[in-house]
Each structure stands twice: as C-alpha cells, then as structure tokens.
Copies of this chain bind each other. A is one copy, B any other.
C-alpha cells in the first residue's frame, strides 16, 4: 500500500518539536487553528478546516521527545484507518523529523494532494519551532484551484 513520507530538519531540540506535536497550542500553531487536543494516549484530537473538512485522530502512542502516533478515526473517507507517525531524533543542534501517513488503500489523486499539503504543513511546523510563528490553516499555502 502506498505511503506518504516526509523528512525535515528543524533547528530546535526534540522536546520543543514534541510539544508542537502533542499540545493543543502547538498543534494549533502549525496545522489548523481550530484544534482540540490533549497529550494523552487514547484521547481523540479534533482538527477542523471549515469547508475543507475535518479529521479526528486517536492518539495511539506517545514517547516523550521521540515519537507520536495517531490513527485517523473520522474525517475524509480515504483517511479513516490510516496511521500517522512523527519520529524525532536529535542531530547536532537540530531535530530530524520523519513523518509518515500509512495505510492508504489506493494512490488516488487526493493522496497526491495530501502528500504535497503534508510537506507544506511540515514547513509550517519547522517555522513554528524555529521562529515561533507557523502558517496553520487557514493561513497555509494554497495549492487548490
């Protein structure tokens, strides 16, 4: 099954990136401003994008400073059941972030679109961690028509 994969180097320590991936304020600072989130395994984080839809992500695994794993439990039908991982490792004064969204059934056009959008959000996360300012939805770079 096809996967979406990304990697970014972020000039910040892993703990700072981990907070941005787990705390409500952090997530709202790079993915979507309309976020309800809790840093607790088993909790369901809720991400809202107005007319662009929504995603509910169940937190499957948390390893402080190292790993965040979600399972999509509601939202776009192609996303439901996919698993999203954020793996962090320190390198010099940077954090290497490996992102994956696995479990897509088919490499549909929407998957191509989501791959590009995830890269845009990884850049937003990088900016948030490095400068304090990200570009969460609705301030994200548009690739829509």
Interface of A with B (CB < 8 Å)? 2-9, 11, 91-92, 94, 96, 98-100, 107, 109, 111-113, 115-116, 119-120, 122-123, 126, 141, 143-145
* A4 contact set on B, CB distance < 8 A: 5, 115
The one of B2, B91, B116, B123 that contacts A145, using a Cβ cutoff of 8 Å: B91
Counting chain B CB atoms within 10 Å of each CB, the highest count among A96, A107, A109, A145 belongs to: A145
Give the CA-CA distance A8 to B117 in the complex, in Å: 9
Q: Is the CB of A143 within 8 A of B2?
A: no
Work out how many copies of this chain go into the complex. Answer: 2
Q: Is the CB of B92 within 8 A of A112?
A: no
* A9 contact set on B, CB distance < 8 A: 143-145
